[in-house]
């Protein structure tokens, strides 16, 4: 099973930049999208069917043009879970899970911490999400949580760890949280198979950051520990340029 996660920074804008043609070439079995910034009614759903994805699930934020996640699949899931049941999370459309035989796949969009209010909200979300996942694993042990975590874990995951140590996304408390999240029973699939530096999934639009590869690795395909021996391949696709993020891939033998 080939799974891709991609923060598209607006699905309608991405489609205009060739997203659907790229999707057909990339050919994942399942793709998790974040920051779709659209309601289902605003999309030409037949375009996704024509691209080979007849099963599309959209979970938008209550606020128009903001946040939202989606999952597109070639095959029909056994179950679709919209949200977490935690009201403030679900109002922003940040979690959508599809269950198949042998694996459950979640598209996650964790908040950014761009100012003090948002940072406080992010910390609350991080704590509540960890509790939610701890419970979820009891009934769904084979979880793959794909998405934009808005956190770099280690110094190797960011182009300038010294100057960014006080910037949200690389704060000690955030790094500690994602380390604890991994320790709670998950595998950072990319770092599991790739130890090289200078691999990023997001670049600022400022200062020609992408051309100079001054990026951050804040997108992850986190694979639950019971699936460790099923991880076959994990990679980042920086040549796909429909967003300020790029897609990330994990392939599992399930």
Q: How far is CA 103 from CA 108, 116, 193, 223, 236, in A?
A: 16, 37, 20, 10, 22
* Torsion sign over Cα 23, 25, 27, 28: negative
Distance, first Cα to last Cα, the chain: 7
DSSP-assigned beta bridge partners for residue 70: 33, 58
Here the tokens at position 241 are 């340029």
Contact present, 172 and 161 (Cβ < 8 Å): no
Category of 197 on φ-ψ map: left (φ > 0), alpha (ψ -120 to 50) or beta: beta
CB 62 within 8 A of CB 88: no
Residue 176 burial (CB count, 10 A): 12
Catalytic residue flag (residue 183): no
Q: Which entry of 90, 117, 128, 148 is annotated as an active-site residue? A: 148
CA dist 76 → 23, 24, 80, 100, 168 (Å): 18, 18, 10, 8, 38
Q: Identify the CA nearest to 100 among candidates 78, 75, 73.
A: 78
Give catalytic residue positions: 148
């Amino acid at each position: 099973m080939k799974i891709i996660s991609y923060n598209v920074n607006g699905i309608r804008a991405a489609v205009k930049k060739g997203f659907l043609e790229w999707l057909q070439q990339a050919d994942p079995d399942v793709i998790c999208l974040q920051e779709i910034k659209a309601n289902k009614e605003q999309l030409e759903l037949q375009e996704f069917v024509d691209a080979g994805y007849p099963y599309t699930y959209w979970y938008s934020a209550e606020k128009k043009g903001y946040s939202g996640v989606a999952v597109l699949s070639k095959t029909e899931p056994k179950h679709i879970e919209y949200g977490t049941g935690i009201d403030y999370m679900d109002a922003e459309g940040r979690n959508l899970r599809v269950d198949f035989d042998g694996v459950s796949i979640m598209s996650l969009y964790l908040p950014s911490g761009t100012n003090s209010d948002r940072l406080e909200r992010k910390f609350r979300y991080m704590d509540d999400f960890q509790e939610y996942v701890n419970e979820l694993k009891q009934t769904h042990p084979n979880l793959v949580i794909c998405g934009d975590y808005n956190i770099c874990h280690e110094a190797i995951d960011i182009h300038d760890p010294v100057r960014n140590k006080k910037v949200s996304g690389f704060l000690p408390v955030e790094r500690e949280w994602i380390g604890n999240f991994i320790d709670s029973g998950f595998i950072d699939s990319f770092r599991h198979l790739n130890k090289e530096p200078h691999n990023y999934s997001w670049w600022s639009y400022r200062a020609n950051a992408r051309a100079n590869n001054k990026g951050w690795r804040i997108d992850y395909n986190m694979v639950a520990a019971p699936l460790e021996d099923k991880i076959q391949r994990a990679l980042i696709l920086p040549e796909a340029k429909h967003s300020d993020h790029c897609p990330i891939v994990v392939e599992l033998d399930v």
